[in-house]
Amino acid sequence: FDELGTLLGIPPPKAEKIASRMIYEDRMKGSIDQV
């Protein structure tokens, strides 16, 4: 999420939170694989 955060001008953790919310709300296709 470093690159997404840089692209959006926000911290990576916030970019991850936004992306995960969008995936959950079915506004964006994708998956997040965390170990």
Mean pLDDT by runs of 10 across the 35 residues of the chain is 95 95 96 84
Tell me which residue range forms the domain holding 22. Answer: 1-29
Which residues are CB-contacts of 29 (< 8 A; sequence separation ≥ 6)? Answer: 23
In a domain, 5, yes or no: yes
18 part of a folded domain: yes
Q: Is 35 part of any domain?
A: no
Res 25: pLDDT: 97
* Identity of the residue numbered 22: M
Its pTM surpasses 0.85: no
Tell whether 24 is covered by a domain: yes
pLDDT of the residue at 24: 96
Domain assignment of residue 34, yes or no: no
Give the pLDDT score at 34.
80
The pLDDT score that the predictor gives to residue 20 is 95
Q: How many domains are contained in the chain?
A: 1
